[in-house]
C-alpha cells in the first residue's frame, strides 16, 4: 500500500515529483494548496477564509486544514493509497494525521522529503509557472512547457501563483523552517522518513523515488 506524504520546502520540486508519482502509481493527489486555491477561485467560504493568509505566505489554521484532509482522505478513491502533498505542515497536523489515519483505515506508511538549498529555492520560485487545472509545475528558465504558457499535460493556460513573489516566499520559507522542518524528526522517530537530495536533477530524484515506491507497493 502506498499511503505517502510528500514534503519539502517551497520550490524543492514537490509539485513536479507529485505529478510523476500519481501518473506512475495511479494514486489520488491530495494537495492541500491545490484544494485551497480551488476554493479561492470558486469563492467558497473556505476560500474566503484562506485567501489573504495564503497570498501573504502564512499557514492556514490547523483546525481548518485538518478537517479538510480528514474529509478528503475518507473518500473512496483513497482506499488503495494516496499521495498527500503539502500536508502535514505542522506538528499538530502530523499528530492529527497519526490519530485519524488508522481510524479511517488510511495510516501513512512512507514519508518522502526533498530538500534543496535556500538560494536555489528562491530562484526556482521566481521562475515557476503552474497549471491551475491539473497542478503541473513548470519553470520559465529550466523547465519550459512544449508550447509557451500552455500545460503539456492538460492544455490549460499556465499562471504565476500570487504567493510566488519574494515577500511571500520569505514568509513561506520562515514558516517552513519554524513549523514544518520539525516533522523530519517526527517521522524519523516513526521509522517512515526517506530523504532525497533535490539537487541531483529531476530525473534522478524521480528514479530514486520510484524505486522506493516500487519496493513498498
Ligand atoms: P502549496 O501549494 O503546498 O505551496 O500551498 C500553498 C499555501 O496553502 C501555503 O503557503 C499555505 O498558505 C496553504 N497551505 C497548504 N497546505 C497547508 C497546510 N498543510 N497547513 C496550512 N496551510 C497550508
pLDDT in tens, 132-188: 998 889 999 999 999 999 999 999 999 999 999 999 999 999 999 999 999 999 999
Residue whose CB lies within 8 A of the most ligand 1 atoms, among 7, 58, 60, 85, for a mutation test: 60
Query: Which pLDDT band, with edges at 50, 70 and 90, does 38 fall under?
Result: very high
Give the architecture (CATH level 2) of 2-116+178-215: 3-Layer(aba) Sandwich (3.40)
Query: Which pLDDT band, with edges at 50, 70 and 90, does 32 fall under?
Result: very high
Find the farthest-apart pair of alpha carbons in the chain and give their distance in angstroms, rounded.
Answer: 46
Round the CA-based radius of gyration of the chain to a whole number and report it: 16
Q: Is the CB of 33 under 6 A from ligand 1?
A: yes
Beta-bridged to residue 150, according to DSSP, are 157
Q: What is the pLDDT of residue 135?
A: 87
- 55 alpha carbon to ligand 1 midpoint, in Å? 10
Q: Is the CB of 53 under 6 A from ligand 1?
A: yes
Distance in angstroms (rounded) separating the CA atoms of residues 3 and 5: 7
Q: What is the pLDDT of residue 87?
A: 98
pLDDT in tens, 84-114: 999 999 999 999 999 999 999 999 999 999 9
> 70: part of which helix (H) or strand (E)?
helix 62-73
Residue 28 per-residue DSSP state: -
Share of the chain above pLDDT 90, in %: 98
Q: Where are the domains of the chain?
A: 2-116+178-215
Amino acid at each position: 500500500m502506498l499511503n505517502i506524504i510528500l514534503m519539502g520546502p517551497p520550490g524543492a520540486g514537490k509539485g513536479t515529483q507529485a505529478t510523476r508519482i500519481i501518473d506512475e502509481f495511479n494514486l489520488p493527489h491530495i494537495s492541500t494548496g491545490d484544494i485551497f486555491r480551488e476554493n479561492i477561485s470558486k469563492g467558497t467560504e473556505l476560500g474566503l477564509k484562506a485567501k489573504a493568509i495564503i497570498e501573504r505566505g502564512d499557514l492556514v489554521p490547523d483546525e481548518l486544514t485538518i478537517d479538510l484532509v480528514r474529509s478528503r482522505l475518507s473518500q473512496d478513491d483513497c482506499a488503495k493509497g494516496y499521495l498527500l502533498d503539502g500536508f502535514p505542515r505542522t506538528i499538530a497536523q502530523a499528530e492529527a494525521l497519526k490519530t485519524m489515519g488508522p481510524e479511517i483505515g488510511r495510516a501513512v506508511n512512507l514519508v518522502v522529503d526533498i530538500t534543496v538549498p535556500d538560494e536555489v529555492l528562491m530562484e526556482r520560485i521566481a521562475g515557476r509557472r503552474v497549471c491551475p487545472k491539473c497542478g503541473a509545475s513548470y519553470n520559465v528558465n529550466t523547465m519550459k512547457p512544449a508550447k509557451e504558457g500552455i500545460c503539456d499535460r492538460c492544455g490549460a493556460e499556465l499562471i504565476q501563483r500570487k504567493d510566488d513573489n519574494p515577500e511571500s516566499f520569505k514568509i513561506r520559507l520562515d514558516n517552513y523552517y519554524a513549523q514544518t522542518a520539525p516533522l523530519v524528526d517526527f517521522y524519523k522517530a516513526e521509522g517512515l522518513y526517506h530523504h532525497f537530495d533535490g539537487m541531483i536533477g529531476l530525473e534522478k530524484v524521480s528514479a530514486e523515488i520510484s524505486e522506493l515506491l516500487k519496493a513498498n507497493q
